[in-house]
Structure 1
Amino acid sequence: MPWWFLPLLMALMVGLLCPATGTLLVTQRRLLQSNLISHAVLPGLAVALALGLDPALGGVLSGVLGALVAERLQRRDGRSHEAVINTVLAGFLGLGVLLIPLLNLRLDLEAVLFGDLLAVGSSDLLRTLIAAASLLLLVVCSYRSLVYLGVDPDGAAAVGLPVRGLRLALAFVTALVVVSAMAAVGVVLVIALLCAPVLPGLHRVTSLRAAMLRSSLVGMALSGAGFALALFLNLPPGPLIGVACLGLLLPGSRIR
């Protein structure tokens, strides 16, 4: 097997998975929460490493906890949703950075934040497959409810749909996706793959399925092209994929 095959496969998997999840987040108006989750995984990673556990497990739990804390604070006191999320985001990220020296951990913080695609292994690919299976299960089991919730959240609550349960499930899947993509693009740059491929052409699709498929194809093209260009230019793939996401949205860029 060529040395570049596994990193390329990982890049394509992340390029498919992140935009599909991002489509759900955009239609549910929960994209800011994904930014919180992507930063809130760091304390869980640190604690799991200190306890000798799988860091992915700690990251997922920490990411979901951050989302629950933000929702509880906003619901309890009626504060601005954006202000609460940004404050909890900064607090969890700061806590994670502090835990690394406090727990005397050997952790490459730059790789966690910005990814190291060339160093991925079979365990990283397995985490991505688990995240993909979780997303597929959520969509298959709750597709109509997710569409209804995205179109009319108040109406969904009025007819008795489990709105909080659906949002919690989406937060859990998002945390899985963020942790699985961490090896490729890091917990900071993953937000670009969650957002950018979703936006072009979103208003022209006729269904949630079509939007997820379209964004996934765009994400795979971005990730694959970014990885190939990184090899050609001898640059880090993760940041280059992030820059490619920005280029997709620059004036004059069109996805037809």
Structure 2
Amino acid sequence: METLWWLLPLVLALVIGGLCPLAGTLLLVQRRLFLANLVSHAVLPGLALALALRLDPGLGGVISGLAGALLAERLSRGDRSGEGGDEAVLNTVLAGFLGLGVLLIPLLHIRVDLEAVLFGDLLAAAPADLLRSLLALVAVLLLLAWRYHHYVYLGVDPLGAASAGLPVQRLRLLLTLVTAFTVVSAMTAVGVVLVIALMGAPALVALAGAASLRQALGRSALVGMGISGGGFLLAIQPAVNLPPGPLIGVLCMGLLPLASLQHRRLSASG
């Protein structure tokens, strides 16, 4: 069994590699990808409180991340200074929740490895991490199966979707909840930095030239699994011997020139 020590981390890397791009693609087509960045930082106060109360840190993180996202959206809707004002609200809430989490650590006399929060540790993955990620993947797939056409409409024409009577706020709330669950489930293994990268880069590549949202979702999941699984296998090679999380993040950055090239080709052919 010791010779297969890499099997659980590899399976987890593949699951997260498929999970994060699915949620990221949904957010990207609605121009709400920054929500993933906000949630990933807003989970820290919940993690700290859950540890202090001897509760499941994942549950605390989901509640905290969801609270941060809802607060930011509520304040953004009340802002009257345009898109720049919305970005200012989102950034301020992100910084506030992150600062609150850092302050709670010494105030509650708990120990939180901030480096693990940022970069995770795939090599220390436990079966519980895999189970949590699988549950998050099921949640994303159920949401897509239940509301796929609504999210297509919402991504193409949000004003038209609202005029047609779609429950826009409920759809956004469901996506926010699933995003928070995705971030928390993946963060314990790969950290905040990689979660954000896996939500963004594969989605950008997949959306270029995609004929439908369904096709983009499938492409993004395959690209994410390839980058995540391939990056993990490369990282554990004796000649490389690097931390998997940061290496996968760097590989995600390498996708950006490919996405840019695809967009230029499409623009030229159009």
User: Which of 51, 54, 76 is 1:52 aligned to?
Assistant: 54
Displacement, 1:227? 0.5
* Letter in structure 2 aligned against 1:38: S
Corresponding position of 1:121: 126
1-side partners of 2:206 and 2:45: how far apart? 36
Indicate the SS of the match to 2:92.
helix
- Following superposition of structure 1 onto structure 2, how do residues 1-256 of structure 1 map, counting pairs within 5 Å? 1=1, 2-79=4-81, 80-232=85-237, 233-250=240-257
* Letter in structure 1 aligned against 2:59: L
Displacement, 1:78? 2.5
Please list the CA deviations of residues 230-256 of structure 1 after superposition, one character each: whole Å capped at 9, or x if unmatched: 112111111110000001113698689
Moved more, 182-191 or 165-174: 182-191
Against the structure 1 CA distance between its residues 201 and 121, is the aligned structure 2 distance closer, same or farther, given a 3 Å change threshold? closer
Asked if structure 1 preserves the Cα contact closer than 8 Å seen for 2:79 and 2:86, the reply is no
2-side partners of 1:235 and 1:183: how far apart? 18
Please list the CA deviations of residues 90-111 of structure 1 after superposition, one character each: whole Å capped at 9, or x if unmatched: 1111111111111111221110
2-side partners of 1:252 and 1:162: how far apart? 33
Asked if structure 1 preserves the Cα contact closer than 8 Å seen for 2:68 and 2:97, the reply is yes
Asked if structure 2 preserves the Cα contact closer than 8 Å seen for 1:39 and 1:188, the reply is no
Displacement, 1:206? 1.1
Indicate the SS of the match to 1:161.
coil
Displacement, 1:184? 2.5
Please list the CA deviations of residues 46-77 of structure 1 after superposition, one character each: whole Å capped at 9, or x if unmatched: 10111111000000011110011111111123
> Where in structure 1 are there 5+ consecutive unaligned residues?
none
2-side partners of 1:227 and 1:49: how far apart? 29
Asked if structure 2 preserves the Cα contact closer than 8 Å seen for 1:248 and 1:254, the reply is no
> Where in structure 2 are there 5+ consecutive unaligned residues?
266-270
Q: Which segments of structure 1 move beyond 3 Å, counting only runs of 4 or more?
A: 251-256
Asked if structure 2 preserves the Cα contact closer than 8 Å seen for 1:32 and 1:82, the reply is no
2-side partners of 1:118 and 1:137: how far apart? 29
Asked if structure 2 preserves the Cα contact closer than 8 Å seen for 1:41 and 1:58, the reply is yes
Asked if structure 2 preserves the Cα contact closer than 8 Å seen for 1:131 and 1:176, the reply is yes
Against the structure 1 CA distance between its residues 201 and 107, is the aligned structure 2 distance closer, same or farther, given a 3 Å change threshold? closer
Give the share of equivalent positions with the same residue, in percent: 66
Against the structure 1 CA distance between its residues 57 and 5, is the aligned structure 2 distance closer, same or farther, given a 3 Å change threshold? same
RMSD: 1.6
Asked if structure 1 preserves the Cα contact closer than 8 Å seen for 2:40 and 2:183, the reply is yes
